[in-house]
Chains A and B, each alone.
Chain A
Protein backbone atom coordinates (compact mmCIF):
# COMPACT_ATOMS: atom_id res chain seq x y z
CA UNK A 1 0.00 0.00 0.00
CA UNK A 2 1.21 3.51 -0.69
CA UNK A 3 1.18 6.09 2.09
CA UNK A 4 -1.85 7.84 0.58
CA UNK A 5 -3.69 4.50 0.33
CA UNK A 6 -2.95 3.88 4.01
CA UNK A 7 -4.35 7.33 4.83
CA UNK A 8 -7.46 6.68 2.75
CA UNK A 9 -8.01 3.33 4.47
CA UNK A 10 -7.40 4.93 7.88
CA UNK A 11 -10.05 7.59 7.29
CA UNK A 12 -12.59 5.08 6.03
CA UNK A 13 -12.12 2.56 8.83
CA UNK A 14 -11.51 4.81 11.82
CA UNK A 15 -13.43 7.99 11.01
CA UNK A 16 -16.17 7.00 8.57
CA UNK A 17 -16.92 3.54 9.98
CA UNK A 18 -16.01 4.47 13.58
CA UNK A 19 -14.00 1.26 13.91
CA UNK A 20 -11.81 2.21 16.86
CA UNK A 21 -10.14 -1.21 16.92
CA UNK A 22 -8.56 -0.24 13.60
CA UNK A 23 -6.56 2.58 15.22
CA UNK A 24 -3.96 0.11 16.43
CA UNK A 25 -3.98 -1.71 13.06
CA UNK A 26 -2.73 1.32 11.21
CA UNK A 27 -0.19 2.53 13.75
CA UNK A 28 3.09 0.81 14.54
CA UNK A 29 2.83 0.74 18.31
CA UNK A 30 6.42 -0.51 18.70
CA UNK A 31 7.78 2.47 16.75
CA UNK A 32 5.82 4.74 19.06
CA UNK A 33 6.95 2.93 22.20
CA UNK A 34 10.54 3.23 21.01
CA UNK A 35 10.21 6.97 20.96
CA UNK A 36 10.39 7.51 17.21
CA UNK A 37 7.55 9.98 17.49
CA UNK A 38 8.46 13.56 18.25
CA UNK A 39 6.53 15.72 20.68
CA UNK A 40 4.78 17.35 17.77
CA UNK A 41 3.46 14.09 16.37
CA UNK A 42 0.17 12.65 17.49
CA UNK A 43 0.18 9.72 19.83
CA UNK A 44 -1.94 6.62 19.76
CA UNK A 45 -3.68 7.60 22.99
CA UNK A 46 -4.67 10.92 21.39
CA UNK A 47 -6.58 9.11 18.66
CA UNK A 48 -8.18 6.63 21.04
CA UNK A 49 -9.53 9.58 23.04
CA UNK A 50 -10.24 12.12 20.32
CA UNK A 51 -11.90 9.89 17.72
CA UNK A 52 -14.83 8.77 19.93
CA UNK A 53 -15.15 12.28 21.42
CA UNK A 54 -15.48 13.85 17.94
CA UNK A 55 -17.78 11.09 16.70
CA UNK A 56 -20.19 11.77 19.56
CA UNK A 57 -20.72 15.27 18.17
CA UNK A 58 -21.26 14.47 14.48
CA UNK A 59 -22.98 11.90 12.25
CA UNK A 60 -22.47 10.58 8.70
CA UNK A 61 -18.79 11.51 8.46
CA UNK A 62 -17.34 11.49 4.94
CA UNK A 63 -13.70 12.34 4.30
CA UNK A 64 -12.32 13.24 0.89
CA UNK A 65 -8.65 13.56 0.08
CA UNK A 66 -8.63 16.52 -2.31
CA UNK A 67 -4.86 16.75 -2.88
CA UNK A 68 -1.98 14.47 -1.97
CA UNK A 69 1.73 13.93 -2.48
CA UNK A 70 4.20 11.21 -1.61
CA UNK A 71 7.94 11.30 -1.17
CA UNK A 72 9.64 8.09 -0.08
CA UNK A 73 8.20 7.03 3.25
CA UNK A 74 6.27 10.31 3.63
CA UNK A 75 2.73 10.95 2.46
CA UNK A 76 0.77 14.17 2.75
CA UNK A 77 -2.89 14.90 2.12
CA UNK A 78 -5.26 17.85 2.16
CA UNK A 79 -8.59 16.51 3.37
CA UNK A 80 -12.14 17.78 3.54
CA UNK A 81 -14.55 16.39 6.08
CA UNK A 82 -18.30 16.53 5.61
CA UNK A 83 -20.57 15.53 8.46
CA UNK A 84 -23.78 16.44 10.23
CA UNK A 85 -24.16 18.03 13.64
CA UNK A 86 -25.51 15.27 15.91
CA UNK A 87 -27.78 17.78 17.67
CA UNK A 88 -29.69 19.11 14.67
CA UNK A 89 -28.25 17.30 11.62
CA UNK A 90 -26.99 20.60 10.15
CA UNK A 91 -24.12 20.26 7.67
CA UNK A 92 -20.64 20.62 9.12
CA UNK A 93 -17.56 21.05 6.94
CA UNK A 94 -14.00 20.96 8.18
CA UNK A 95 -10.66 20.74 6.41
CA UNK A 96 -7.18 19.77 7.43
CA UNK A 97 -3.76 18.62 6.37
CA UNK A 98 -2.02 15.49 7.51
CA UNK A 99 1.45 14.10 6.95
CA UNK A 100 2.41 10.56 7.86
CA UNK A 101 5.57 8.51 7.74
CA UNK A 102 5.08 4.82 7.14
CA UNK A 103 7.11 1.66 7.52
CA UNK A 104 5.91 -1.82 6.50
CA UNK A 105 2.42 -0.45 5.75
CA UNK A 106 2.05 1.07 9.22
CA UNK A 107 2.06 4.68 10.33
CA UNK A 108 5.10 5.45 12.47
CA UNK A 109 4.59 9.23 12.66
CA UNK A 110 1.54 11.41 12.10
CA UNK A 111 1.21 15.19 12.01
CA UNK A 112 -2.36 16.48 11.98
CA UNK A 113 -3.53 20.06 11.55
CA UNK A 114 -7.29 20.33 11.33
CA UNK A 115 -9.45 23.42 11.53
CA UNK A 116 -10.76 22.55 14.99
CA UNK A 117 -11.56 26.20 15.57
CA UNK A 118 -13.91 26.32 12.57
CA UNK A 119 -15.33 22.92 13.54
CA UNK A 120 -16.21 24.11 17.05
CA UNK A 121 -17.69 27.34 15.68
CA UNK A 122 -20.03 25.33 13.48
CA UNK A 123 -21.06 23.16 16.44
CA UNK A 124 -21.69 26.22 18.63
CA UNK A 125 -18.92 25.58 21.17
CA UNK A 126 -17.00 28.66 20.04
CA UNK A 127 -18.64 31.92 18.92
CA UNK A 128 -18.72 32.97 15.25
CA UNK A 129 -15.56 34.85 14.19
CA UNK A 130 -13.48 33.48 17.05
CA UNK A 131 -10.24 34.36 15.20
CA UNK A 132 -11.27 38.00 14.79
CA UNK A 133 -12.46 38.17 18.42
CA UNK A 134 -9.22 36.71 19.79
CA UNK A 135 -7.06 38.90 17.54
CA UNK A 136 -8.93 41.97 18.76
CA UNK A 137 -7.99 41.16 22.36
CA UNK A 138 -11.11 39.31 23.57
CA UNK A 139 -10.51 36.52 26.07
CA UNK A 140 -12.96 33.64 25.80
CA UNK A 141 -13.71 31.43 28.76
Chain B
Protein backbone atom coordinates (compact mmCIF):
# COMPACT_ATOMS: atom_id res chain seq x y z
CA UNK B 1 0.00 0.00 0.00
CA UNK B 2 1.37 3.45 -0.89
CA UNK B 3 1.76 6.08 1.82
CA UNK B 4 -1.17 8.05 0.45
CA UNK B 5 -3.42 4.97 0.47
CA UNK B 6 -2.43 4.35 4.10
CA UNK B 7 -3.34 7.95 4.94
CA UNK B 8 -6.70 7.77 3.16
CA UNK B 9 -7.53 4.43 4.76
CA UNK B 10 -6.57 5.74 8.22
CA UNK B 11 -8.82 8.79 7.81
CA UNK B 12 -11.74 6.62 6.73
CA UNK B 13 -11.36 3.90 9.34
CA UNK B 14 -10.38 5.88 12.42
CA UNK B 15 -12.22 9.16 11.87
CA UNK B 16 -15.19 8.40 9.62
CA UNK B 17 -15.95 4.87 10.82
CA UNK B 18 -14.80 5.64 14.37
CA UNK B 19 -12.94 2.37 14.50
CA UNK B 20 -10.64 3.13 17.41
CA UNK B 21 -9.05 -0.29 17.43
CA UNK B 22 -7.74 0.55 13.96
CA UNK B 23 -5.38 3.11 15.50
CA UNK B 24 -3.06 0.28 16.47
CA UNK B 25 -3.41 -1.28 13.01
CA UNK B 26 -2.21 1.85 11.23
CA UNK B 27 0.55 2.87 13.61
CA UNK B 28 3.77 0.93 13.92
CA UNK B 29 4.09 0.64 17.69
CA UNK B 30 7.39 -1.20 17.36
CA UNK B 31 8.96 1.88 15.77
CA UNK B 32 7.60 3.85 18.65
CA UNK B 33 9.03 1.61 21.33
CA UNK B 34 12.40 1.33 19.60
CA UNK B 35 12.54 5.08 19.49
CA UNK B 36 12.69 5.61 15.74
CA UNK B 37 10.51 8.67 16.24
CA UNK B 38 10.59 10.67 19.42
CA UNK B 39 7.34 10.97 21.38
CA UNK B 40 5.61 8.66 18.91
CA UNK B 41 4.47 6.19 21.55
CA UNK B 42 2.98 9.06 23.55
CA UNK B 43 1.35 10.30 20.36
CA UNK B 44 -0.35 6.93 19.82
CA UNK B 45 -1.57 6.89 23.44
CA UNK B 46 -2.85 10.45 23.01
CA UNK B 47 -4.76 9.33 19.93
CA UNK B 48 -6.64 6.71 21.90
CA UNK B 49 -7.89 9.48 24.19
CA UNK B 50 -8.18 12.32 21.69
CA UNK B 51 -10.11 10.63 18.89
CA UNK B 52 -13.17 9.73 21.01
CA UNK B 53 -13.00 13.13 22.73
CA UNK B 54 -13.24 14.88 19.37
CA UNK B 55 -15.89 12.50 18.07
CA UNK B 56 -17.99 13.22 21.19
CA UNK B 57 -18.69 16.72 19.81
CA UNK B 58 -19.51 15.63 16.25
CA UNK B 59 -21.85 13.39 14.27
CA UNK B 60 -21.82 12.15 10.64
CA UNK B 61 -18.16 12.97 10.20
CA UNK B 62 -16.73 12.90 6.67
CA UNK B 63 -13.15 13.64 5.69
CA UNK B 64 -12.70 15.17 2.25
CA UNK B 65 -9.20 15.25 0.77
CA UNK B 66 -8.86 18.53 -1.13
CA UNK B 67 -5.25 18.16 -2.21
CA UNK B 68 -2.71 15.38 -1.69
CA UNK B 69 0.88 14.55 -2.55
CA UNK B 70 3.25 11.70 -1.95
CA UNK B 71 6.94 11.12 -2.40
CA UNK B 72 8.68 7.93 -1.37
CA UNK B 73 7.45 6.91 2.07
CA UNK B 74 5.95 10.34 2.76
CA UNK B 75 2.37 11.43 2.08
CA UNK B 76 0.54 14.67 2.73
CA UNK B 77 -3.07 15.77 2.48
CA UNK B 78 -5.05 18.96 2.89
CA UNK B 79 -8.36 17.87 4.36
CA UNK B 80 -11.77 19.31 5.16
CA UNK B 81 -13.56 17.51 7.98
CA UNK B 82 -17.29 17.95 7.56
CA UNK B 83 -19.60 16.97 10.38
CA UNK B 84 -22.66 18.00 12.40
CA UNK B 85 -22.26 19.59 15.81
CA UNK B 86 -23.55 17.02 18.31
CA UNK B 87 -25.41 19.62 20.38
CA UNK B 88 -27.75 20.81 17.63
CA UNK B 89 -26.73 18.95 14.42
CA UNK B 90 -25.60 22.23 12.85
CA UNK B 91 -23.10 21.51 10.01
CA UNK B 92 -19.50 22.43 10.79
CA UNK B 93 -16.27 22.18 8.82
CA UNK B 94 -12.71 22.05 10.08
CA UNK B 95 -9.63 22.04 7.85
CA UNK B 96 -6.15 20.73 8.38
CA UNK B 97 -2.99 19.33 6.88
CA UNK B 98 -1.61 15.91 7.73
CA UNK B 99 1.75 14.46 6.84
CA UNK B 100 2.76 10.87 7.48
CA UNK B 101 5.83 8.71 6.97
CA UNK B 102 5.27 5.02 6.52
CA UNK B 103 7.32 1.85 6.71
CA UNK B 104 5.96 -1.52 5.59
CA UNK B 105 2.49 -0.04 5.24
CA UNK B 106 2.41 1.37 8.78
CA UNK B 107 2.62 4.94 10.00
CA UNK B 108 5.90 5.65 11.76
CA UNK B 109 5.51 9.42 12.02
CA UNK B 110 2.55 11.76 11.80
CA UNK B 111 2.35 15.55 11.80
CA UNK B 112 -1.15 16.97 12.29
CA UNK B 113 -1.90 20.65 11.87
CA UNK B 114 -5.62 21.13 12.21
CA UNK B 115 -7.45 24.42 12.72
CA UNK B 116 -8.15 23.62 16.38
CA UNK B 117 -9.05 27.19 17.23
CA UNK B 118 -11.63 27.22 14.43
CA UNK B 119 -13.04 23.89 15.64
CA UNK B 120 -13.33 25.06 19.26
CA UNK B 121 -14.98 28.29 18.10
CA UNK B 122 -17.59 26.22 16.26
CA UNK B 123 -18.42 24.14 19.33
CA UNK B 124 -18.48 27.33 21.46
CA UNK B 125 -15.51 26.32 23.60
CA UNK B 126 -13.63 29.41 22.38
CA UNK B 127 -15.15 32.80 21.49
CA UNK B 128 -15.49 33.92 17.85
CA UNK B 129 -12.33 35.54 16.43
CA UNK B 130 -10.04 33.98 19.04
CA UNK B 131 -6.96 34.53 16.84
CA UNK B 132 -7.73 38.23 16.45
CA UNK B 133 -8.51 38.55 20.19
CA UNK B 134 -5.23 36.90 21.21
CA UNK B 135 -3.24 38.91 18.65
CA UNK B 136 -4.70 42.07 20.14
CA UNK B 137 -3.52 41.05 23.61
CA UNK B 138 -6.67 39.53 25.14
CA UNK B 139 -6.01 36.78 27.67
CA UNK B 140 -8.62 34.00 27.58
CA UNK B 141 -9.18 31.82 30.62
Contacts and interface: CB of A to CB of B under 8 A. Distances in A.
A26 B125 CA distance: 36
Contacts of A120: 134
Interface string B23-65: 0000000000000000000000000001001101100000000
A114 B140 contact: no
Interface string A59-80: 0000000010101001010100
B69 A40 contact: no
Contacts, number: 98
B82 to A, nearest CB: 12
Contact of B117 (A111, A117, A135): A117
Contacts of A1: none
A116 B115 CA distance: 8
Interface in A109-139: 111, 113-117, 120, 123-127, 130-131, 133-139
**For the side of the interface on A, what is the size category?**
35 or more
B111 A78 contact: yes
A40 B134 contact: no
A90 B138 CA distance: 19
Interface string B47-91: 000100110110000000011011100101010100000000000
A97 B76 contact: yes
A57 interface: yes
A53 interface: yes
Main secondary structure of the interface of A (DSSP, over half): mixed
Interface of B: 50, 53-54, 56-57, 66-67, 69-71, 74, 76, 78, 80, 95-97, 99, 111, 113-117, 120, 123-127, 131, 133-141
The list of the 6 closest CB pairs from A to B, nearest first, reads A97-B97, A134-B125, A113-B113, A125-B134, A53-B135, A135-B53
Given A111-B67, A126-B134, A139-B126, 19 more contacts: A74-B69, A76-B97, A97-B97, A97-B111, A97-B113, A111-B97, A113-B97, A113-B113, A113-B115, A117-B117, A123-B134, A125-B133, A125-B138, A126-B140, A134-B126, A135-B50, A135-B57, A137-B125, A141-B140
